[in-house]
Amino acid sequence: GSTAQAATSRIAFKPLAAQTDFTIHVPEGYSWKPVAKWGQPLFSGVDDLDHATGGALETSDKVFGENTDGMEAFTVGNHQLIAVNHEYVNPKINLPNNEGGVPTSADDVRKLQNLQGVTVMEVAEGENGWDIVKDSPFTRRIHQNTPMKIAGPAAGHNLLKTDADPAGVEVLGTMNNCGAGKTPWGTYLTCEENFNGYFGSTDANLELPEDFGRYGIGHEGRYAYEKFDARFDLATTPNEPYRFGYIVEIDPANPDAMPVKRTALGRFKHENAACVLAPDGRVVVYLGDDERGEFLYKFVSDGVYTPGGDTSTLLDEGQLYAAKFNEDGNGEWVALTPEATGMSQPQICILTRVAASKVGATTMDRPEWVAVNPVAVEAYCALTNNKNRGLKTNAGGDETPVGGPNPREANKYGQIVRWFPAGDDHASDSFTWDLYVMAGNPTVGEGLYKGSENINAGNLFNSPDGMMFDSTGLLWIQTDGDDDNEGEFEGMGNNQMLAGDPVTGQIERFLTGPNGSEVTGLTWSADKRTMFVGIQHPSAPFPDGEGKLARSTVVAVKRDDNAIIG
Ligand code: FEO
Ligand code: CA
Ligand code: CA
Ligand code: CA
């Protein structure tokens, strides 16, 4: 009964009803406040966002970037730092005076490039809550023209060479930084997802390599970069796309350290990078490839992590695996070796999707974030949705029959799969698995579309995406789905963040975002009394009110009694 359940529930808040308005809601006894909005100055002497122009080019690399996404908090001395991704841009909002937001000059392109990438910022809590510490020695904007090193097996490979970098070892910029990760040695991992969309060709008849199809790289760029920046024009710089789609390591404590692309972790549409140590000290990194019918991966380092030891090549030397889920609830990590794939080690790191197809990895319903439970040896992956499951296959991809952890044809709601590594060892090559939850709609859905038993009228959601465990082992689930609240999505309301108990399966709604936005990115202050939550791409003015531009924003959520919340 509900009384007994309430008495034993680990979920301490009063669950929120679904919402459909244009602001944030949190449960009774909690409150929220913006901390960092797109266009907010990171340095003194820089003005706050000019809502008439979307901000000047000159200051676009000195402000908090657009489309906040994955983030991680770091404590350096007594400084509270947050490293946070800026995934992409909303050109109609960022270039409000351009017809349709379409860039018409190299300056427009440069401004958009500056608004993406990563911010490292210091934050501090004062009488009026959390705020950015301007001019902190740690403040840093990494954008699409920031020099970075290429490391690992693919460094120096012919496919990575360009006229500007004939050695194939240094690249400008990181892009489409989606989810994130934190290494045991205190560095930030930022994950390059839909890099394909930044490239185009000024020659409409240019013949493209076959593997471009598998990665979705075509003649038409999403932001017209190719017209104004030759680096993004395939007709001029054909190898540039091979230099993106990686995990990038950034040291927030050392603002002068060059970011490093870790090619050993593969090239695909990286979602996040969930790190955990195996019992013997090897580093395990779980990695999702967010595309319909693509795969789930993990990397296991050859070396072991020892506190204070050399970590500079831990993510360069190791084995990449792709997941194979069997129908019987068992599964295996299949090593992507030259023997198994017929590809060279650098080729495996550059054309990772092709390698995983060769070993028969399981096609998934868009693997988004992986979260590793800190109090139990298990990991969870949000499979956000897959309208093509069982119906259609991506260009150059594998057939996607219904089955295993992807049990629904034309899967519109998504599910969360979890696995339990053999021997309680995340480095093990076998596991058992089950579905933690299948989102659905018990009122309007039929059969599997009703959702799993832990879905009820009070916690409806679709399209799980961001996921983080807190230090107590509660799973926080963020959504990026259909928020029309109609038909099959009736009763789900706006995108949201829920808390899930991994043991009982109980899931309750904690926060709702403004209509049109997605909730993505979550981290905690060092004292765990504040939760930082990202609100990406709100569609109406937020949070500044009527007549203002919509601003992607990181907000602080606290309990009114200042108790620990994670
Ligand atoms: Fe950037 Fe797959 O979300
Ligand atoms: Ca996502
Ligand atoms: Ca998503
Ligand atoms: Ca997004």
Q: pLDDT tens digit string along 498-540?
A: 999 999 999 999 999 999 999 999 999 999 999 999 999 999 9
pLDDT tier for residue 246 given thresholds of 50, 70 and 90? very high
Task: Say yes or no: CB of residue 316 within 6 Å of ligand 1.
Answer: no
* Antiparallel, parallel or unpaired: β 430-438 and 415-421: antiparallel
- What's the CA-to-centroid distance between 465 and ligand 2, angstroms? 5
Task: Say yes or no: CB of residue 178 within 6 Å of ligand 1.
Answer: yes
- What's the CA-to-centroid distance between 245 and ligand 1, angstroms? 13
User: What would the pLDDT profile of 101-153 be if each residue is shown by its tens digit?
Assistant: 999 999 999 999 999 999 999 999 999 999 999 999 999 999 999 999 999 99
Q: Tell me how far apart the terminal alpha carbons of the chain are, to the nearest angstrom.
A: 27
Ligand having the closest approach to the CA of 193: 1
Half-sphere exposure of residue 462: CA atoms within 13 angstroms, side-chain side: 26
pLDDT of 358 above 80: yes
Give the dihedral of Cα atoms 563, 523, 256, 66; nearest 10 deg.
-120
Task: Say yes or no: CB of residue 300 within 6 Å of ligand 1.
Answer: no
CA distances from 463 to 368, 412, 484 (A): 10, 8, 13
Task: Say yes or no: CB of residue 193 within 6 Å of ligand 1.
Answer: yes
- What's the CA-to-centroid distance between 304 and ligand 1, angstroms? 30
- What's the CA-to-centroid distance between 366 and ligand 3, angstroms? 9
Give the position, in ligand 1's atom list, of the atom nearest the Cα of 178. 1
Task: Say yes or no: CB of residue 290 within 6 Å of ligand 1.
Answer: yes
Atom 1, ligand 1: residue with shortest CA distance = 178
Dist. CA 366–CA 374, nearest whole Å: 24
Helices and strands in the chain: count of H runs, count of E runs: 8, 28
* Backbone phi, psi, residue 121, to 5°: -135, 155
Give the position, in ligand 1's atom list, of the atom nearest the Cα of 368. 2
Task: Say yes or no: CB of residue 271 within 6 Å of ligand 1.
Answer: yes
Task: Say yes or no: CB of residue 382 within 6 Å of ligand 1.
Answer: no
Cβ contacts of 19 within 8 Å, gap of 6 or more:
25, 493, 494, 512
Section 455-482 average pLDDT: 98
User: What would the pLDDT profile of 312-330 be if each residue is shown by its tens digit?
Assistant: 999 999 999 999 999 999 9
- What's the CA-to-centroid distance between 189 and ligand 1, angstroms? 15
- What's the CA-to-centroid distance between 480 and ligand 3, angstroms? 5
Dist. CA 327–CA 349, nearest whole Å: 29
Dist. CA 366–CA 285, nearest whole Å: 18
Q: Which of 470, 527, 533 is nearest to 35 (CA)?
A: 533
- What's the CA-to-centroid distance between 455 and ligand 2, angstroms? 22
Please, what sign has the CA dihedral across residues 458, 513, 248, 166? positive
**What is the helix, strand, coil percentage profile of the chain, to 5?**
15, 35, 50
Dist. CA 151–CA 130, nearest whole Å: 37
Residue of higher predicted confidence among 1 and 566: 566
Cβ contacts of 508 within 8 Å, gap of 6 or more:
11, 13, 15, 458, 459, 498, 499
Give the position, in ligand 1's atom list, of the atom nearest the Cα of 176. 1
DSSP 132-185: E-TT-TT-EEE-TT-EEEEESTTTT-GGG--SS-TTS-EEE----EEEEEE-TT
Section 257-275 average pLDDT: 99
Section 170-186 average pLDDT: 98
Residue of higher predicted confidence among 8 and 442: 442
Give the position, in ligand 1's atom list, of the atom nearest the Cα of 69. 1
CA distances from 33 to 124, 232, 542 (A): 13, 38, 12
Ligand having the closest approach to the CA of 194: 1
Dist. CA 391–CA 384, nearest whole Å: 17
> Mean pLDDT for the chain?
97
pLDDT tier for residue 1 given thresholds of 50, 70 and 90? very low
Give the dihedral of Cα atoms 399, 402, 403, 407; nearest 10 deg.
140
- Contact at 8 Å (CB) between 79 and 138? yes
Q: Which of 184, 157, 156 is nearest to 303 (CA)?
A: 184
For residue 86, the tally of other CB atoms under 10 A from its CB is 28
For residue 447, the tally of other CB atoms under 10 A from its CB is 7
- What's the CA-to-centroid distance between 538 and ligand 4, angstroms? 11
Give the position, in ligand 1's atom list, of the atom nearest the Cα of 480. 3
- The pLDDT of residue 2 is 46
User: What would the pLDDT profile of 372-411 be if each residue is shown by its tens digit?
Assistant: 999 999 999 999 999 999 999 999 999 999 999 999 999 9
Task: Say yes or no: CB of residue 467 within 6 Å of ligand 1.
Answer: no
Q: Is the pTM of this model over 0.90?
A: yes
ipTM comes to 0.96
- What's the CA-to-centroid distance between 368 and ligand 3, angstroms? 7
Q: Which of 375, 367, 368, 378 is nearest to 474 (CA)?
A: 375
Dist. CA 433–CA 420, nearest whole Å: 6
- The pLDDT of residue 88 is 98
Task: Say yes or no: CB of residue 72 within 6 Å of ligand 1.
Answer: no
Task: Say yes or no: CB of residue 192 within 6 Å of ligand 1.
Answer: no
Task: Say yes or no: CB of residue 368 within 6 Å of ligand 1.
Answer: yes
Task: Say yes or no: CB of residue 87 within 6 Å of ligand 1.
Answer: yes
User: What would the pLDDT profile of 143-168 be if each residue is shown by its tens digit?
Assistant: 999 999 999 999 999 999 999 999 99
Ligand having the closest approach to the CA of 385: 3
Dist. CA 418–CA 407, nearest whole Å: 14
- What's the CA-to-centroid distance between 87 and ligand 4, angstroms? 7
pLDDT tier for residue 7 given thresholds of 50, 70 and 90? low
The 8 Å CB, 24+ separation contacts for 415-418 are 415/365, 415/383, 415/439, 415/452, 415/464, 416/380, 416/381, 416/382, 416/383, 416/464, 416/467, 416/477, 417/325, 417/380, 417/381, 417/383, 418/378, 418/379, 418/380, 418/381, 418/502
pLDDT of 289 above 70: yes
DSSP 196-222: GGG-B-SSTT----HHHHHTT--SS-S
Ligand having the closest approach to the CA of 271: 1
DSSP 556: E
- The pLDDT of residue 8 is 73
- What's the CA-to-centroid distance between 392 and ligand 4, angstroms? 23
Give the position, in ligand 1's atom list, of the atom nearest the Cα of 87. 1
Give the position, in ligand 1's atom list, of the atom nearest the Cα of 193. 1
- Contact at 8 Å (CB) between 556 and 530? yes
Ligand having the closest approach to the CA of 464: 3
- The pLDDT of residue 378 is 98
Task: Say yes or no: CB of residue 518 within 6 Å of ligand 1.
Answer: no
- What's the CA-to-centroid distance between 134 and ligand 2, angstroms? 29
Residue found by looking up tokens 């609240």 in the block: 485
